[in-house]
């Protein structure tokens, strides 16, 4: 199901920019939707594609009734083309196939829309090949690039796209989304929202059960083992987390929330202020193993590790340094 722009949760400024572009007939040939994972980049991109292919847009939004809108609702519009990594990367053969389609006129609508998921995964050859199209854009093609690691894209590609920066949703927006998408009661939605870190996608996974959010399941298992780790196990954990580099940032976000909660509880003893409400008992048990200064140091180390990973540094080295810091400040081996 593809939403209309007016139905998107949050991101009102971006939605208005896109609606204005349609109303003023100033649609750019390429857009880059960038921001953290799960905050709604793909949802907005698909809603925008629906407007671009709509036969009779109304106030910059899709009409929802025409043939094109019905096709979009069922994911079968002939002028909407998707591309995502084939394995670990988007390869030059995929870009060449995209360029072949660009040369043809739209089958049904006034334009073709090409949506590139994880655009940063283009190989160097693929990116250079794609750049040629951006340098000589056709009037009947619009490219929607989606990325949570835009720094990995060629600067020349970045400069030829209109960039739209997505930010994490507020807890209120996430809660509203949970009520709308999952039909949760307001109190339950408000309880789950803070755990999602501004991502409605994560919140929906959490609402469907922890097994639907593998990253959180993994981190909850990890924090249960941390107090009894020795140095060798801490380094082994770093190796385990770094094996999936694409997920490392999410692991660190969740780990940061865990130690944030412990620090908050250390100072306030107020469980209502904690984000990890569903596992409070486990969290409270661990608090006594850390000093306030130790928790602050660990939080800073997690933040630094996250920044290093996002900056494309050696993921394993960053996580090894972090895990050794966590080991040194707490746990049964180092309890104060």
Structure tokens at 143: 């490219």
What is the C-alpha separation between 201 and 199, in angstroms, rounded? Answer: 5
Classify burial at 15, counting beta carbons within 10 Å of its beta carbon; exposed 0-12, middle 13-18, buried 19 or more: buried
Which string of DSSP letters, residue by residue, matches 238-250?
Answer: HHHHHTSHHHHHH
Q: Please, what CATH class does the domain formed by 213-329 belong to?
A: mainly alpha
Q: Please give the pLDDT value at position 268.
A: 93
Q: Are 182 and 22 in contact (CB under 8 A)?
A: no
How is the chain split into domains, by residue range? 5-165, 169-211, 213-329
Q: Are 249 and 219 in contact (CB under 8 A)?
A: no
Structure tokens at 26: 């100033």
Of 327, 324, 284, nearest to 335 by C-alpha is 327
DSSP code of residue 169: P
Q: Please give the pLDDT value at position 336.
A: 47
Classify burial at 163, counting beta carbons within 10 Å of its beta carbon; exposed 0-12, middle 13-18, buried 19 or more: middle
Of 19, 22, 45, nearest to 32 by C-alpha is 45
Please state, in angstroms and as integers, the Cα–Cα distance from residue 179 to each residue in 18, 47, 53, 184, 190, following that order. Answer: 26, 20, 29, 5, 9
CATH of domain 5-165: 3.40.50.300
What is the C-alpha separation between 41 and 33, in angstroms, rounded? Answer: 6
| Residue appearing with tokens 């593998």 | 214
What is the C-alpha separation between 145 and 266, in angstroms, rounded? Answer: 43
Residues of the chain with pLDDT under 70: 1, 137, 209-212, 331-336
């Amino acid at each position: 199901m593809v939403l209309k722009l007016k139905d998107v949760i949050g991101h009102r400024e971006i939605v208005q920019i896109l609606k204005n572009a349609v109303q003023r007939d100033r649609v750019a040939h390429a857009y880059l939707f960038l921001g953290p994972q799960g905050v709604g980049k793909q949802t907005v991109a698909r809603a925008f594609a629906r407007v671009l292919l709509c036969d009779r847009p109304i106030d910059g939004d899709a009409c929802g009734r025409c043939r094109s809108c019905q096709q979009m609702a069922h994911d079968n519009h002939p002028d909407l083309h998707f591309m995502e990594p084939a394995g670990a990367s988007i390869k030059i053969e995929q870009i060449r196939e995209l360029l072949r389609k660009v040369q043809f006129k739209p089958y049904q609508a006034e334009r073709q829309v090409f949506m590139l998921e994880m655009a940063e995964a283009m190989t160097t050859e693929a990116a250079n090949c794609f750049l040629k199209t951006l340098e000589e854009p056709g009037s009947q093609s619009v490219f929607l690039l989606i990325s949570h690691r835009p720094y990995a894209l060629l600067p020349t590609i970045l400069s030829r796209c209109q960039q739209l920066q997505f930010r994490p949703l507020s807890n209120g927006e996430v809660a509203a989304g949970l009520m709308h998408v999952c039909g949760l009661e307001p109190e339950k939605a408000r309880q789950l929202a803070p755990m999602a870190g501004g991502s409605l996608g994560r919140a929906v996974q959490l609402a469907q059960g922890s097994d639907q959010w593998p990253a959180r399941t993994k981190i909850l298992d990890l924090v249960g083992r941390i107090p009894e780790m020795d140095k060798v196990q801490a380094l082994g954990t770093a190796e385990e987390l770094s094996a999936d580099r694409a997920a490392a940032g999410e692991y660190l976000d969740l780990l940061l929330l865990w130690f944030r909660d412990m620090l908050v509880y250390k100072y306030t003893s107020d469980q209502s202020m904690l984000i990890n409400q569903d596992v409070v008992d486990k969290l409270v048990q661990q608090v006594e193993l850390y000093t306030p200064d130790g928790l602050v140091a660990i939080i800073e180390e997690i933040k630094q590790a996250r920044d290093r990973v996002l900056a494309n540094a050696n993921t394993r080295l960053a996580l090894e340094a972090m895990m050794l810091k966590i080991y040194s400040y707490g746990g049964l081996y180092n309890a104060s």
